[in-house]
Amino acid sequence: MLGSAQAQTVSFTEAWSRVIQQDDGLAAEQAGVDRAEQLREAAKAMYLPKVDVGASYTHLDQPMELDMLDLNPIANHPEFGKVLGPVMQALNLSPSDFVTPLTKQNVVTSSVKMLWPLFTGGRIDAAQDIRQAQVSEAQQLLVLKQQSTFESLSQTYFGVVLAAQVVQTKQEIEQGLAHHLDHAQKLEAQGQIAKVERLSAQSAYDRARIDTQKARRSLEIAQLALGHMLKLKQAEPNTRLFINDDMPQLDPFVQETLAVHPGLKLLAAKKEQAQGMIKLEKGKYAPELFLFGNYNLYEDDSIVSKTTPDWLVGVGVSMPLVSRDGRSETVQAAKSAELQVNLLQAKTRQDLELLVEKTWREAAQGLEEYQSLSSTQALAQENVRLRDKAFGQGLSTSLDVVDAQNQLAGVKTQRAAAAYQYVVSLARLLALSGQMNSFNQYQHGRAIEVNS
């Protein structure tokens, strides 16, 4: 393979392990799972009481005062002043002596407040269920990303293997046509063939050299993509394309896919969230029972402060009568979301069944094509040998030899492409059914060679 001296050899199993550890897309989905789990843990605090510590500073336009004379119902009687005046004068009293300050003009307080919901109509439990379903959703998104990444890796990795085999095929054809050109030059020098035959051989050889260079460029591009995916400067696969004698049964793949596919589990998590939203919105119709309390940490030296209790506790109830949040419509919206998920689940099951069968048939087609072309390749190889021999005897033209070489190259490339289709389709089947770890077992099949 091109640049193999600097390339790091890696098997497909090693490549997948490297992608699992280093792929940024997978790391992003894992961060999403961590986030959902943290939000789920945070939601557990909804069962706990809310405790606040607060302080306030208030400046009044004037202190609050209580005039004892204002408490006497006859204080405003016209004759009251005539009676009270001499008494106050005899006792040396003034009107201010009847005024009692209740607060200072600057009031400073500090307290601890507590509010503990005891019953909320099931809204807290529903919120917990929603958070748990969101964790499940994030986990299934991660699995979906793993499956798509596995498929992408199989296409990229074995794409490099296929490109390398195409290069090898082109090189062999180039070498064969170089031999044919050398043979034609010698025959022309001996006068056994016309110049046009030698020119035909020269033209075919030049085209073969160009095709080989194009194949090398394609291989370099494929290697670049694989190296980028594995975060290596250059990677050289050492797992070859392979085939197995028989295709595995279709039904187990279908059943396993419908049982474990993360797309269906993701929709199930969406359904749980919709059901939780229904419970949450219905809970808004129920009364809310709560425990409350207050403890004064600091209070100034005033009559009001002294008469205010240092702490208090109580039980309260709140019953919503008229709401502006459209509770009934929100409940119906949540029910519509649940119905939508039910319909999506049915559609997704149908799509997955179709996708699995389609992928299985593509793998079977690749396997059948590879096996069926075995005789065609043998025929093409024999045709090259006979045409080359006949050319030396003057019984065949240069064009016949070139056609035979091109036919052999086409058959080899077609067989390699069929094996690639089989391997990639098999990888997708295993990804869809959650059996990616079983891919290594299928690799024990027969590795293909371009000359086999």
Closest to 209 (Cα-Cα) out of 172, 183, 244 = 172
Cβ neighbours of residue 222 closer than 8 Å, sequence gap 6 or more: 156, 159, 160, 163
Band the pLDDT of 4: cuts 50, 70, 90.
very low
pLDDT at 79 over 60: no
Q: Angle at the Cα of 261 (from 257 to 263), degrees rounded to 5? A: 135
Task: Answer yes or no: is 379 within a domain.
Answer: yes
- Top-confidence residue, 307 or 399: 399
Closest to 167 (Cα-Cα) out of 208, 134, 226, 126 = 208
Q: What is the pLDDT of residues 125-137, one digit of tens each?
A: 999 999 999 999 9
The sign of the CA dihedral 390, 396, 402, 406 is: negative
Closest to 15 (Cα-Cα) out of 359, 427, 429 = 427
Please state the domain count of the chain: 1
Q: And the tokens for 353?
A: 């069944």
Q: In three state form, how does the secondary structure of the chain look?
A: CCCCCCCEEECHHHHHHHHHHHCHHHHHHHHHHHHHHHHHHHHHHHHCCEEEEEEEEEECCCCCEEEHHHHCCCCCCCCHHHHHHHHHHHCCCCHHHHEEECCCCEEEEEEEEEEEEEECCCHHHHHHHHHHHHHHHHHHHHHHHHHHHHHHHHHHHHHHHHHHHHHHHHHHHHHHHHHHHHHHHHHHHCCCCCHHHHHHHHHHHHHHHHHHHHHHHHHHHHHHHHHHHHCCCCEEECCCCEECCCCCCHHHHHHHHHHHCHHHHHHHHHHHHHHHHHHHHHHHHCCEEEEEEEEEEEECCCHHHHHCCCEEEEEEEECCCCCCCCHHHHHHHHHHHHHHHHHHHHHHHHHHHHHHHHHHHHHHHHHHHHHHHHHHHHHHHHHHHHHHHHHHCCCCCHHHHHHHHHHHHHHHHHHHHHHHHHHHHHHHHHHHCCCHHHHHHHCCCEECCCCC
pLDDT at 182 over 60: yes
pLDDT at 1 (0 to 100): 47
Q: What is the dihedral of CA 120, 125, 131, 135, to 10 degrees?
A: 180
Task: Answer yes or no: is 383 within a domain.
Answer: yes
Band the pLDDT of 72: cuts 50, 70, 90.
low
Band the pLDDT of 7: cuts 50, 70, 90.
confident
pLDDT at 70 over 70: no
pTM over the 0.75 mark = yes
Segment 349-355 mean pLDDT:
96
What residue numbers bound the domain in which 215 lies?
Answer: 8-45+122-287+329-449
CB-CB contact of 291 with 118 (8 Å): yes
Cβ neighbours of residue 202 closer than 8 Å, sequence gap 6 or more: 181, 184
**Mean of all residue pLDDT scores within the chain:** 87
What's the distance, CA 219 to chain centroid? 30
pLDDT at 400 (0 to 100): 86
Task: Answer yes or no: is 52 within a domain.
Answer: no
CB-CB contact of 167 with 212 (8 Å): yes
pLDDT at 28 over 90: yes
Q: What is the pLDDT of residues 105-162, one digit of tens each?
A: 788 888 899 999 998 888 899 999 999 999 999 999 999 999 999 999 999 999 999 9
pLDDT at 311 over 70: yes
Task: Answer yes or no: is 238 within a domain.
Answer: yes
Segment 418-422 mean pLDDT:
96
Task: Answer yes or no: is 65 within a domain.
Answer: no
Strand partners, 251: none
pLDDT at 336 (0 to 100): 93
pLDDT at 229 (0 to 100): 94
Segment 194-199 mean pLDDT:
89
Percent share of the chain, pLDDT over 70: 88
Segment 288-302 mean pLDDT:
84
Segment 39-45 mean pLDDT:
91
pLDDT at 2 (0 to 100): 46
Task: Answer yes or no: is 432 within a domain.
Answer: yes
Band the pLDDT of 249: cuts 50, 70, 90.
very high
In angstroms, what is the C-alpha Rg of the chain? Answer: 43
- Top-confidence residue, 80 or 278: 278
Q: What is the pLDDT of residues 262-279, one digit of tens each?
A: 999 999 999 999 999 999
Closest to 14 (Cα-Cα) out of 164, 203, 190, 231 = 231
Q: What is the pLDDT of residues 371-385, one digit of tens each?
A: 999 999 999 999 989
Band the pLDDT of 89: cuts 50, 70, 90.
low
pLDDT at 75 over 60: no
Task: Answer yes or no: is 63 within a domain.
Answer: no
CATH number where 174 lies: 1.20.1600.10
- Top-confidence residue, 360 or 399: 360
pLDDT at 94 over 70: no
pLDDT at 256 over 90: yes
Band the pLDDT of 80: cuts 50, 70, 90.
low
Task: Answer yes or no: is 99 within a domain.
Answer: no
Q: Is 356 left (phi over 0), alpha (psi -120 to 50) or beta?
A: alpha
pLDDT at 170 over 70: yes
Percent share of the chain, pLDDT over 90: 58
What values do phi and psi take at 203, rounded to 5? -65, -45
- When mean pLDDT is compared across 5-14, 144-153, 194-203, 238-247, the lowest value belongs to 5-14
What is the CB neighbour count within 10 angstroms for residue 417? Answer: 17
